[in-house]
Each structure stands twice: as structure tokens, then as C-alpha cells.
Chains A and B, each alone.
Chain A
Amino acid sequence: MNTAINNALSSNAAAHHPAITQVIRRQDTWLGRDSTSTPQAKEYGLSSGFSSLDRELYGQGWPTGNTIELLSDGGGLGAMGLFLPAMEKLSQQGRWQIFIAPPYMPYAPLLEARGIDSGQILLVHPQNRQDLLWSIEQALRSGTCSSVFAWLGNDNYRYSELRKLQLAAANSDVLSVLFRTRQAGKQHSPAALRMEMKEYRRVHILKQRGGNQYIDVDLSSDEDTPGQPQLWELPAYPEGDACATPALSA
């Protein structure tokens, strides 16, 4: 194998040698240099629906077949809104979109209005941490899900546990997102992409395999489909007057 790689490199045909291409195609192969120029990079991204974000993402979109970590606290400022356009696209595949240990219940009429078939949504409520990890792994491996969203909560997870999930996601085309607390950002993680959201419409990329890191990406509102309910915009109906005088004295 080593000689094959050496030969291929020396003949300056790395990208065309079958053995090398196979290695590069593996989604857990780390490509050191700026590889947006390699054609493979464009193959697997699932467009996020935000062109500014797509530009910064290696693969021009969400790296499916990898775990994505989104670090946030509390309700997670717009974290789901970030994935709504992708969910809408994935909805056409007719497979499950699974929410494992979600904090609350997704509001079905909103999903329907955003073009997501609510019949595909599964909410899984595992009782303990073991069942939680088991459910995520099953969902990632089964191939019957187009997206997996899992809320890992406050717990600390060993690198090996997260690595197991990363491996389960590899060799599939699942959009797999793990929601963790911002505290977890200090720990080492095998995820291909780690992001943080501190405010609506601004994503901070903490780590990105093969791409830019430590950058803020602003998501413009120009690309919102008109007529769809938006999570991040204030409504068009008049504000101020009505709002200033709610009878607070209950």
C-alpha cells in the first residue's frame, strides 16, 4: 500500500490513481492542504440553504456521513432553524427524520408549513445514557433515516463513545447532528464539524475537517423563502404600540 501511494505521488497523478482516490473518498480521511480545489470535496455536501455558510463549509454544505456538533446552551438560539432548509430537502427522500432525546416537542404545523413531512419525524425518548447512545447508533447505522438529531445533554462523553457514533455515521448519507452544551467545546471530539451559535443568524465554526476554522459566518435573510414562517425574523405585523402596553399586572 505504501509503495502504491509513493508511486502514485511520484508520478504526480495522486488524484487519478485508484488506490489513492479510494483513500481520499473515505470521509474520515483528513486532507491536509486546502482541498476545495479537489473535485471530491464537492461530492458529498448537503446544501445548508444558506449560501454564505455553504461557501465556508468544506464540501459546499453539511458533511453528511459525519457527525456535526452544535454547541449551545438553553433553548439553543436558532439551532434548529439552521437545519430547517436541509430538513426540507431531505424530506423528499421519504425516510425518517429522527429526534433523539429532544428538549421539547417540535411544532408540527410549523414543520408542515416549511415543507417538511411531519409523518417522517420520530421522537425517541431514551431513559438513560446507555439507551441514548444505543438509539443514536441504531438510527445512524440503519440507513432508514435521512437525518438524525440527538441532544446529548449535560453529560460528559468519552472520546471513544463519540468516535463510535462518528464511525456509525460514516459510510452513510445521514445528516447527523449532535447538540451539546457549550462547555463541551473544550473537550476533544471526533466530529467533522463543530459549530457554536451565540445569536440568531451567526454561526461560529470551531472546528472543520479540511476547511476553515475559528470563523464567524453571518446568515443573510435574503435567502428566506417568502411566504414561509421564519424562526429568526420578527413578524411584519405592527409592533411597538401594541407591545408596549401589555397588561402586566396580572
Chain B
Amino acid sequence: MSLWLCLRFEQLPLQALRPDTQGCEGQLLPVVVLEKQRVVRACDQAAALGVRPDMGTATVRALAEDVRLLERDPQQEQNCLQQLCCWAYSITPTLYSWRQDCLLLEIGGCLNLFRGLQPLLDRIDTDLSLRGFSYCQGLAPTPKAAWLLSHRDDDNQQDPLEQRLAPLPLKLLDDFPRQTDALAKAGLWQFGDILDLSQQALGRRCGKAFTLFMQQVLGTHYDERPDFQPPQTFSDHYWFGYEVKANQELLPAMQMLLQSLCQFLRNAQLQCQQLEWQLFGIQRQMSRLQVRCSSSQADWQEWYRLTELKIEQLQLKTGVEGLALHCESLSAGHYNSDDLFNNHGQHEPLHSLLDRLHNRLGLQAVHKIACRDEHLPEYASYSSYQVAQASSLTKETTQRRPFWLMPAPQPLGQQRQQLNWNGPLQLLAGPERIEDNWWMEAISRDYYIAQNPAGQLYWVYRDRLEKQWFIQGVFA
């Protein structure tokens, strides 16, 4: 049997704006959201002062002196609702948002997963209060009935649906103002009054749309809507509500956001390689922080460790009031398994060390090396922070080559007809001629092995065209 849960965010116009309610002396200021100069929502403080919906600006100012008046932002509300959908997607795949301020979730199919209704409702309550949303909930076999019942505080689920709906006022149906007015004139105020009427009689009075709605409420007509589809990018934020000055204090919120990211990734079977933190200062100025990982990850602990490294180095210029986490390039998830038999005490995948080094030292500080099929030594071996997949070299190198190659050949000094590099050099073996690059800038070198007085061997060459000696390698 399907069971629908309606989460109605009555204060969404207010909560979506995240107003700064702190007064200068620490007390909470009244906040009111306006639309076309009329009150849409008022916070508890304002309501206590007597501010009610639909009041004009002047009246509000008269009632509350230091009131903050905010303009309603429907786009922001939609964003909030979208994020709430992403969050709710971890509970059930069958859900959609409705009427600008509601989420409708089919939870009949996932009660076993959460071990019963109450644990699920508890979890929803914890999650939403962490996110700073207040809500009303309604449970019913149909989505529309769930929405209606979210207006009732003293709902007993054991009763039959008609009985639970009966005391609700018809005024709630603000999509049908003409019909409810007509019914009110006839003395029908509550659902109980019209549920007793016959369907045909109601249909004649109120029209097809209204009866269809009532049938959907009662479940006699199927209410079909497209389900929410999770987006292909992730973004979420957290507002502290106060100023954070120490880096360490950011971490718990980051942990929470990462968990929600990884929950999202797991739900959507995706992985990401890079994420971006945005830190909002008190004047809404923003600083960015990017964390990269060499392989796709969906494990929040790994991301948390990497973020920690970045946070250690971060120097906050101003206090931080909010955090946002964005993740744009998501790829389909794939999971690797560890080697069961031969893991040499290895507890983590190879790339995790690389990622830690990258994130603390920077991308450029860690290089890989690779071979190229080239004649000139400086081209045959290269090191870079980004190495393409190494090509397998078939050429057999049995000639003598040094272990160390200098980044660039260094010109050698000469003293009294003798080469000098930390002492006089004596040539022991050679030459070996290496020529290349004749089609561009021809290069022709004679390579020798030279020894200094301490016995150290070097790889030196004489450029035959420039007639100049260079040192290029060290045998060590």
C-alpha cells in the first residue's frame, strides 16, 4: 500500500532568504517577508508583535519598530526546494515538489529500509532541523490527502481517511476559489460537509476539475505525476548563523556537506574527481577552495582528509558565515576492489598518497617520469606532473647511462686545458656520438664519461657544432 508523506515548508519564503536576525545586542530581530508591499510571512518575533499576513508595510512598521523587511525571492525558494528534493532522493526515489512549498514523498516502499515509520520520521526531523527548516507533515495514502492533512496537528492515522479529513476547512483549496465560495454560501465549510454529498451532486455544483481533485484526494482516481530526477551536478550549502574565525571550526560543517555529497553520489550512482568549496564572508564576499583527487571518489572520508589538508594551509582573511560545496563534473561510478592475497600491508589505494601530496604541496610539486623513444637523452626521459600513459619501450638500452640526469645540460668550465666541475675532470671513456634533430636544429654530440678526483663519474659531452663542453648526468 502506498503511503505518502507531505513535507510542507510554510516558512520557506522566510527561511530561503536566510535573514540575519541577530540584533546588535544579541536579541532576535523581527523579520517580515513582503510581496507587492504586503506581508507574506512573518517570523515568530514579528508574529508575537501582531504582524499578520496581508498587512501593509505601514502597519508592520507601526507594530514593530526595528523590523527587517525583505522582498520575497521566488527563485531562491525554488533553489531551496530543489536542494530539499536532492536530500529527499536519498529517502525515496518516488517524490516531487508541489505548490512552491511542498515535497511529496512516497514512503510506503521504503519503510522496511528504515525499519519502520517512526525511525524514518525521526531521521527526517533531524536532517531538516540541521538544515534549518521548519515544516509541517501529513501522512496519507494519496499525495493530495497528505498535503491536506499536513494542515492538521492532531491527526490520528488509525482513523479512516474521510474522518481525518472531515474537520479541515474548505478554504485550504485556494486553487478553487469560486467553488469554495459557492460552497461556503451554501453553508458547507468543512471537508466533512462535502464528503457526505453524492459525487454527481458535487460534480453538478462545482465542475469536473473539482471532483477530479476530490477523487484524487480520496484515491478513487489515480494521481500521476513525473518523479523528481536528480540533477547532474551537486551543490549544497551550510549557513553557520554566526561568524566562524578558526579554520578548525569549519570542519564539522564540511563533514556534513561531504556526507550529503557522497549520499547524493551514491544515490545517483555517480562519482566526482574535483570539488569546490566556497566560503562566504560576512560581507558575502566569496573565496574558493578546490580539492582534487586523481581518481573518481564517492567516499566522503577520503574527501574529508583531502579537504583537511587544504584547510590546514588556508588563511582566513575574514570570518566565514556560510559554506557551499559545488561539484560539477560527475562521472558514472565504478568501484575497484583490493588485491585480496598480495597487498603488502597496503590499506589504501595507490592514488590516495598522490592526492594527499597534491593537495598539500600543489599539483606541480609531484612529478612522474616516463620514457620517450628519442635519441637525445633530455628528450628520452622526461618528468612532469602530468605524464601520459607510458609507452612501452622496446629499445634495448645496454649502453652505459647515468642514473641522474640534470634538468638541463650545464656548460663546463675549463682550466688549463682541463675540464672542471667541482674539481678537474678526467675523461675515461668515449666518445659515443649522438646526433639527432637534423630536420630542425641539427644536434651532434660526443659523449664521454669523466671522473673527478674523488672518483665520481659524470656524463659529459662536447657539442660538435657549438664547440662547447657540457655536463649532463651523474653516475651514482
Contact = CB atoms under 8 A, between A and B. Distances in A.
Contacts of B431: 242-243, 246
A104 B366 contact: no
Interface stretch (A16-24, A111-119, A161-169): A111-119
A99 to B, nearest CB: 9
A15 B39 CA distance: 85
Interface residues of B, number: 70
Nearest to A246: B427
Contact of A118 (B344, B369, B399, B446): B369
Contacts, number: 209
Interface stretch (B2-10, B137-145, B281-289, B402-410): B402-410
B361 A95 contact: no
A243 B429 contact: yes
Contacts of B427: 243, 246
A113 B397 contact: yes
Contact of A127 (B361, B414, B455): B361
Contacts of A45: none
B371 A106 contact: no
B428 A234 contact: yes
Interface string B421-436: 0100001111110000
Contacts of A78: 475-476
Interface in A31-86: 74-81, 84
Contact of A108 (B365, B370, B419, B473): B370
B1 to A, nearest CB: 51
A41 B182 CA distance: 97
Interface in B293-349: 342, 344-349
A95 B430 contact: no
Interface in B109-167: none
A134 B359 CA distance: 13
B429 A234 contact: yes
B350 A243 contact: no
A1 interface: no
A104 B404 contact: yes
Contact of B350 (A84, A95, A172, A227): A95
In this complex, the interface size class of chain A, counting residues with CB under 8 Å from chain B, is 35 or more
Interface stretch (A140-148, A152-160, A208-216): A140-148
A123 interface: yes
B400 A107 contact: no
B221 interface: no
Given A119-B390, A172-B345, A104 B406 contact: yes
Contact of A109 (B380, B383, B462): B380
Contacts of A81: 403, 475-476
B383 A105 contact: yes
B429 A235 contact: yes
Given A108-B369, A131-B361, A134-B360, A77 B429 contact: no
A234 B447 CA distance: 14
Contact of B354 (A77, A80, A84, A122): A122
Interface string B370-396: 110000010011110001001001011
A41 B221 CA distance: 81
Interface of A: 74-81, 84, 93, 95-96, 98, 102-113, 118-119, 121-127, 131, 134-135, 138-139, 142-146, 171-173, 199-200, 227-235, 237, 239, 242-243, 246-250
Of all A-B residue pairs in the complex, the 8 with the closest CB atoms, nearest first, are A108-B381, A104-B404, A113-B397, A75-B474, A123-B367, A142-B353, A110-B401, A108-B371
Given A125-B367, A227-B398, 13 more contacts: A75-B456, A75-B475, A84-B403, A103-B474, A106-B405, A109-B381, A113-B396, A122-B367, A123-B383, A124-B365, A199-B455, A229-B399, A237-B429
15 contacts: A74-B456, A77-B476, A96-B353, A107-B473, A108-B369, A108-B370, A109-B380, A112-B393, A124-B361, A124-B366, A229-B397, A229-B399, A233-B400, A246-B446, A246-B462
Interface of B: 342, 344-350, 352-354, 356-357, 360-361, 365-371, 377, 380-383, 387, 390, 393, 395-407, 414, 417-419, 422, 427-432, 446, 448-449, 454-458, 462, 467-469, 473-476
